[in-house]
Structure 1
Amino acid sequence: MERKGTKVNFLYNMVYQVALMILPLITMPYVSRVLGAEGIGTYSYTYSIAQYFLLFGMLGVENYGNRSIARVRDDEQKRSAVFSSIYTLQFIIASISVIVYVLYIAMFSGNKLYAFLQVFYVLSGVFDINWLFFGMEDFKLTVTRKVLVKIINVVLIFAFVKTSADLWKYLLVLSLGYFIAQSSMWLFASKYIKFHFTRINEAFKHFKDILILFIPLVATSIYRMMDKVMLGNFSTMQQVGFYENSEKLINVCLCVISAFGAVMMPRMSNLYARSKYDECRDLFVRSMEIAIFIGCAITFGISSIANDFIPIFYGTGYDACVSITIMLSATVLFITWACIVRTLYLIPTEKNKVYIYSVFLGAGVNVIINWALIPRLASVGAAVGTIIAEVTVAVYQTIMVRKELDVSQCMKKSVPFIIFGSIMFLVVKILPFEVGGNIGRLIAKIFIGAMVYLALSAIYFLKTKNKLFYDVIGKLMKI
């Protein structure tokens, strides 16, 4: 079957990730002012709990299904059989998760209305088959559907969310929109597979392998979402709101890294399946260089403008987000490094133990630090826990794969971008930028900082005769 090239798939995924970046930048200032930190915190707290149930409902199907489909994508009969058996298992587990979530709302939830409105997130796990399209390296369908739904969400938020009393409308728009985006992919599934529910014993043959991938997802979720759950229990919803807004800024910027990893993982899985190890190692080093180039721009860029950006973007009452955002920006490089190791090596080669141990180690560190610091430092304590957890994961994974991958080469290629990022940071912080008031000063800092970083990087690419750089320049010259 003819497939899109990696560059085309990356472009499609970049469109989606750019939408993930731009659309929140449109809604976040408005929502923060209308709902306030406490409203944002309530949403974040209930959403985090719903995400745990969705996580258990999906088990480890997304990565496992992606990888499994990629391996048989050239054989329609095998592809249909693999999809049918995996989805049958997903349907059973996800349905159980929905039932348990409803019971949780009835028996334990203190925010029953808001928790109930999040049920669509959990229900989406019953219908989510994006992994089929990822495995087929067909990103066009997933991108167009999701972007369309998110644009509609933006319109609905501005149309119906007017005061803090409209928090329930905000939750409903987001959760229902997510459900529609996921379930609508079934309209196109017949293009690739002929689906039928399989026998339970046939479906559960995947359970062990899926569970292996699910275990690290649980651990990862502990220090991705437990911060807000623990903040909600040990502190206030306002502190959850501060942390949510700070973390969201970082996550918006990390969308580019996520796009890159999502696009490259099926290709790496396919190369490993065909035993093309030299190509895999070369692709890994080149991918890491690209990712670190982006990661350094994010880390040093955010930390240099946070003091100016937060008050303008979120408005009054969010001063606490400045220090939290600067702290969390330090995690970007470590998240980037670990993301590339995970998606381009550990998952494609089924190095499950390394993956599992690393995230459990990071999760354990995160929970311990949160337990010790959140009661005293609130959201700042949660940020400290996240930083140390991300460092722990990246360091452990690096140590464990150092013999199989050219880690020293990756580190060597990272140093120039760290230096360029540091120079950008100093330029932005030292120069006065006394132009056009607060907004004018912020725009000037972003522009000058970006020019400094890109110019230094371009000179470096020219000096080292970087193939990627020349490819990009060549394509731009043809436009």
Structure 2
Amino acid sequence: MQKYLKNMGWLTGEKLLDIFLRLVAFLLVAKALGAEGYGMYAYAFSVASIFAIAGHMGVEGLITREIVKFPEDRPTIVGTTLALKTLGYVFGVVLLVAYAFIVPSHSEVERTLLILAACTIIVQPIITINSAWFRAMVAARNYVIPNTVGGIFGAILKITVVSLGFSAVAVGMSQTIAVALTAVLAYIVYSWRGGPKLQECKFDTAYARRLLSEGVWVMIGSVMAVIYLKIDIAMIRIFNGSELAGVYSVSATLSEYAYFLPAAVVTSFFPRLVELFSQDTTQFNNRLQRLLDAIVSLSWLLVVGVAVTGTIIIDELLGADYQQAISVLWIHILALPFIATRNVLSRWIIITKLTKFSALTQGAGAAINVLLNVILIPNFGAHGAAIATVLSYAVASYGVLYFNRSTREIFRMMTKSQLQPWRGFGELKSTFLEMRRQLRNG
């Protein structure tokens, strides 16, 4: 247990530093570019996130599980995964570039930003392999370091370019350079800290088929998840223009900064859940309930904290251009408890191999989100998009679980946690106290 708490400490510490630097850069960029300029930048990189999902291949969580369970096959796991993800990301880049030039309403600035965003996709395979390998090894520091250095460099570069009066294109270029640096560092750390050498890795066609057959439903689910997380900015840009897209993006970005902490807790304990599932079902269910309790309690603390601090940040630092973002943030942040428990559900689905159901739930959420966006955005603008986000997550990450016999038990566990959000405070406190003790002891 101490290993997992220390691992979570690295994840949390890295993200806190990363968030602070990115937050400073984000605020300076949003203020310097104004709502319209920031809206174009946010639109381009949101659309890129949607096309980048082609490289997910549904194997992100699966390869962590495979590395843990089959240590003798690690070169094959790494080699096959790297090849699959490279093909997927290249395909996503081709589609994104085509989209940039096909859509007639794109301005030259938006097209340039979309091309720069495409460049960040092509280097993702090595970043993914580094992350999956060291997650399986429960050695968070080894993928924390590249991400932190790349994040620091990117934040400094963005602050520099906006301070010098450069436009949204220069900010996009800064983001591209920072991601490229992260990829280079990820490869160096992966090679240095004992990952299988890439020249020793091999592609196995039969293994690729098996991985894809299991991952296909996860991939479909991931596509749907990204759609209902990122499609709102694109739809606001289409219906209401870049300025309102910038306003909504500020609210969504502040809200999304809170997602990291529940995700870090869940990610760090995932290998332990894999072990317990194969050893003792009762212990696995008890650990799962305690994890859900802690995640829900943490989420509601973050909801209150983000609503208060976000209001102050927008009002005092961003000014009149973004005043509407305050009320949008108050709505958008209410999705957090469902997003946080979705992190737990996604790991549970991977462990229990109910990947088809994952795709169905994500598909339901995406469909509801798009439908509600079409109805609400023309009438309520950014507020309508925030409402659509909350409702779609509530349905896809919680409500639909009741209607399937295989997921009804975890639905009951989630209900217990959601209806009694105070249940996890004790677990949360003891977890973070122990984590702090482990970090102090090295």
TM-score by length of 2: 0.88
Aligned to 1:143: 144
Write out per-residue CA displacement over residues 264-287 of structure 1, whole angstroms, 9 at most, x where no aligned residue. 222212332x23212211111111
Aligned to 1:166: 167
What 5-or-longer segments of structure 1 have no aligned partner? 419-456
Aligned to 1:284: 288
Aligned residues: 427
Superposition deviation, residue 471 in structure 1? 6.6
Superposition deviation, residue 255 in structure 1? 1.0
1:195-210 map, 5 Å? 195=198, 196-198=201-203, 200=205, 203-210=208-215
The answer to which of 155-164 and 9-18 deviates more is 155-164
Point out 4+ residue stretches in structure 1 off by more than 6 angstroms: 474-479
Q: Which has the higher contact order (CA 8 A, sep 6+)?
A: 2
Q: How has the CA–CA distance of structure 1 residues 334 and 320 changed in structure 2, closer, same or farther, with 3 Å as cutoff?
A: same
1:67-86 map, 5 Å? 67-72=65-70, 75=71, 77-86=72-81
Corresponding position: 1:216 with 2:221 = yes
What residue identity is the alignment partner of 1:374?
A: I
Aligned to 2:4: 6
**CA contact under 8 A between 1:58 and 1:125: conserved in structure 2?**
no
Aligned to 1:249: 254
1:44-443 map, 5 Å? 44-72=42-70, 75=71, 77-108=72-103, 110=106, 111-128=110-127, 129=129, 130-162=131-163, 165-190=166-191, 191-195=194-198, 196-198=201-203, 200=205, 203-272=208-277, 274-304=278-308, 306-343=310-347, 345-399=348-402, 400=404, 403-405=408-410, 407-408=412-413, 411-415=415-419, 417=421
What residue identity is the alignment partner of 2:212?
A: F
CA distance in 2, matches of 1:7, 1:402: 28
What residue identity is the alignment partner of 1:369?
A: L
Superposition deviation, residue 137 in structure 1? 1.9
CA distance in 1, matches of 2:32, 2:122: 28
* Higher helix content, 1 or 2: 2
CA distance in 1, matches of 2:368, 2:259: 22
CA distance in 2, matches of 1:326, 1:386: 12
**CA contact under 8 A between 1:398 and 1:407: conserved in structure 2?**
no
The answer to which of 134-143 and 380-389 deviates more is 134-143
What residue identity is the alignment partner of 2:370?
A: V
Query: For 1:193, what is the secondary structure of its paired residue?
Result: coil
Superposition deviation, residue 86 in structure 1? 2.0
TM-score by length of 1: 0.82
Corresponding position: 1:16 with 2:14 = yes
**CA contact under 8 A between 2:31 and 2:318: conserved in structure 1?**
yes
What residue identity is the alignment partner of 1:331?
A: A
CA distance in 1, matches of 2:436, 2:172: 42
Aligned to 1:32: 30
Q: How has the CA–CA distance of structure 1 residues 68 and 397 changed in structure 2, closer, same or farther, with 3 Å as cutoff?
A: farther
CA distance in 2, matches of 1:305, 1:147: 24
What residue identity is the alignment partner of 2:65?
A: R
What 5-or-longer segments of structure 2 have no aligned partner? none
CA distance in 2, matches of 1:471, 1:239: 41
CA distance in 2, matches of 1:389, 1:471: 31
CA distance in 1, matches of 2:235, 2:165: 24
Q: How has the CA–CA distance of structure 1 residues 477 and 267 changed in structure 2, closer, same or farther, with 3 Å as cutoff?
A: closer
Write out per-residue CA displacement over residues 309-332 of structure 1, whole angstroms, 9 at most, x where no aligned residue. 421132232111011000112111
Superposition deviation, residue 224 in structure 1? 0.4
Write out per-residue CA displacement over residues 318-359 of structure 1, whole angstroms, 9 at most, x where no aligned residue. 11101100011211122222222222x122211213312211
Sequence identity, in percent? 19
Q: How has the CA–CA distance of structure 1 residues 320 and 92 changed in structure 2, closer, same or farther, with 3 Å as cutoff?
A: same
Q: How has the CA–CA distance of structure 1 residues 164 and 229 changed in structure 2, closer, same or farther, with 3 Å as cutoff?
A: farther
**CA contact under 8 A between 1:39 and 1:164: conserved in structure 2?**
no
Aligned to 1:437: none
Superposition deviation, residue 165 in structure 1? 4.3
**CA contact under 8 A between 2:217 and 2:358: conserved in structure 1?**
no
Query: For 1:5, what is the secondary structure of its paired residue?
Result: helix
What residue identity is the alignment partner of 1:170?
A: V
Query: For 2:320, what is the secondary structure of its paired residue?
Result: coil
Superposition deviation, residue 228 in structure 1? 0.8
Superposition deviation, residue 161 in structure 1? 1.9
CA distance in 1, matches of 2:410, 2:16: 31
Return the index of the structure with the highest Cα Rg: 1
Query: For 1:254, what is the secondary structure of its paired residue?
Result: helix
